[in-house]
Amino acid sequence: MAATKESILDKFPFPVIPKIIGEPNFESLREVQRKLSNNAGSIQTNLGGGQHGYLALTVRPDIYFGLTGQVFAPPNDPGPYPIIPPGATNAQINAIERTQKENQRVFNEFNAVGNALKQQLLGALDETYLRGLRHNIVGFLNVNVLQMIYYLFTNYGDISPSDLAANENRMKASYDVSQPIESLWQQIEDAMAFAGAANAAFTAIQILNLGYDLLFRTGMFKDELKDWRRLAPARKTWPVFKRMMTEAHRDLRQQSAASHGYQTANMTVQNEPEDHHQATIDALQQLANATMADRNAVANLTEANAVLTNTTMDGIPKAMATLGQQMETLTSQMKTMQSNFDKLRGLQVDISNPKYVHKHFEKLITSTNTRRNKFWCWSCGVNKSHGSDDCKWKITGHREEATSSNMLGSTPFGRRHA
Ligand SMILES: [Zn+2]
């Protein structure tokens, strides 16, 4: 169905704009422009980058470019009839006709949206204030809504230099990284719109420099700002900047949430990856506990078996005492493991990253070594007697040169137990 002014008006988030009583001023004009821009931006189109609807109908091209990094080229009237070259095949004629029809649709919709906005603006204030733009015969036919908006700002939107200075200060207020980064984007874009309406628009470069400066001063975005500096000039647009830094801010929050044990206020961390993270830690801990427990249990049971085999009825109390001691040893080994893993968990590292896992396993080994076991072997793992170069129990693939800081494919528990 072809778009009409009426069907467009129905889709606007502000179908009615309250009328300004009496002479408009900067504030009331800004409010009208804000509603018109919301309406314009709400109608989807592939024109102007396809992300901001028809916003280009209500803001100046320089501001549209500053906000979107895109140029909005108004569609041309394709005329009522397609131009069919002589000798065209049926398929070619069909394609040309389809293109013509689509171009016509795009052009009509562009006009319908512009007319709907124009009607809204004309309804939002007394026509007297637009008289200077009105043609004697054709009225406002050849005037678009953007021209009307800026005519009004020029004639009635007086803004004092001190208001402009205040706006600039609001725009440059330093950014607190514990706040959502969207609040920073809002701060900058609001001020851009304000300055644009006051005919003192910031250039796209100034906006980018400001965003850069505010984030730089937080000291938290060094790597990302470096990546940004390396981008080709043509890619350095405001939306790209926002996307990169929004992503960086999300990472920052996740790290911060992790290192503060989720206690930081105002955190809106996505739960899914963190749950996953925790699940991985739990799984590793269970694996480690089980491996360690298995090893010790087998060793202890072997010894216990030996004790029992060589025990007569008279010897049972002594055997029981030995078993009791072994239970104690086992329990204390389990406790050591538990505390090592609690420490590992306390480090809150990204355990899905092999580099970190490796680094923290090293710490685990070091701490285990200093407590009871002094050695580590590629085949046997952490143990009391020997390193990789002195192993009597090598398994296939054993690497004599492996050490706890360079495990060469083994694990803290040894390849035998992997
Ligand atoms: Zn060994």
Q: Are 360 and 349 in contact (CB under 8 A)?
A: yes
Ligand 1 mean position to 204 CA, how many Å?
Answer: 65
Q: For 172, list phi and psi in degrees, rounded to 5.
A: -95, 10
Cα 392 to ligand 1 centroid, rounded to whole Å: 6
Region of poorest pLDDT, from 142-151, 192-201, 224-233, 288-297: 288-297
Q: Compute the distance from residue 415 Cα to the ligand 1 centre, in Å.
A: 10
Per-residue pLDDT band at 134 (split at 50, 70, 90): confident
Q: How many CB atoms lie within 10 A of CB 336?
A: 16
> How far from 393 is each of 37, 91, 210, 405, CA to CA, in Å?
76, 78, 65, 21
CA of 386 to the centre of ligand 1 (A): 6
- Which residue carries 């003192």 as its tokens? 200
CA 400 to ligand 1 center in whole angstroms: 9
Q: What is the pLDDT of residues 31-86, one digit of tens each?
A: 898 899 999 999 999 998 888 899 999 988 888 888 888 889 999 888 888 888 88
Burial class (CB in 10 A: 0-12, 13-18, 19+), 163: middle
CA 106 remoteness from chain centre: 33
- 8 A C-beta contact, residue 124 and residue 20: yes
What element of type H or E holds 377? Answer: strand 375-377
Looking at residue 202, what is its pLDDT? Answer: 72
Cα-to-centroid distance, 23 and ligand 1 (Å): 91
The answer to whether 100 and 76 have CB atoms below 8 angstroms apart is no
124: pLDDT confidence band, cut at 50, 70 and 90? very high
Residues 6+ apart with CB under 8 A from 381: 410, 411, 412, 413, 414, 415, 416, 417
CB 43 within 8 A of CB 55: no
SS3 332: helix
**b/e burial code for range 168-190 (CB count within 10 A of at least 16 → b):** eeebeeebebeeebeebbebbbe
Residue listed under structure tokens 């795009």 = 106
The CB-side HSE value for 110 (13 A sphere, CA atoms) comes to: 19
Q: Which of 22-36, 147-161, 275-289, 382-396 has the lowest mean pLDDT?
A: 275-289
Return d(Cα 214, Cα 57) in angstroms, integer. 30
The rounded Å distance from CA 298 to ligand 1 centre is 17
- Per-residue pLDDT tens digits for 308-343: 565 566 666 676 777 777 677 767 767 766 666 665
Distance 347 CA to ligand 1 centre (A): 30
The residue with greater pLDDT, 258 or 119, is 119
- Residue 325 CA to ligand 1 center (angstroms) comes to 26
Ligand 1 centre from 294 Cα, in Å?
A: 17
Could you tell me the distance, in angstroms and rounded to a whole number, from the CA of residue 238 to the centre of ligand 1?
A: 59
- Whole-number pLDDT of residue 305: 58
378 CA to centre of ligand 1 in angstroms: 6
Measured in angstroms, how far is the CA atom of residue 303 from the centroid of ligand 1?
20
Distance of alpha carbon 356 from its chain centroid, rounded?
A: 23
250 CA → ligand 1 middle, Å: 45
- Spatial distance between the Cα atoms of 132 and 151, rounded to a whole number of angstroms: 9
How high is the pLDDT of residue 120?
A: 95
How would you label 212-225 residue by residue, b for 16+ Cβ within 10 Å and e otherwise?
A: bebbeeeebbeebb
pLDDT > 70 in the chain, percent: 72
CA of 377 relative to ligand 1 center, distance in Å = 5
- Which residues in 2-158 belong to E strands, given as ranges? none
Distance 375 CA to ligand 1 centre (A): 9
Domain ranges of the chain: 5-156, 161-259, 272-372, 374-418
Question: Which amino acid would we find at residue 342?
Answer: D
User: What is the rounded CA–CA span in Å between residue 378 and residue 399?
Assistant: 6
Between the two ends of the chain, the Cα-to-Cα distance in Å is 66
Gap from CA of 411 to ligand 1 centroid (Å): 13
Dist. CA 288 → ligand 1 center (Å):
19
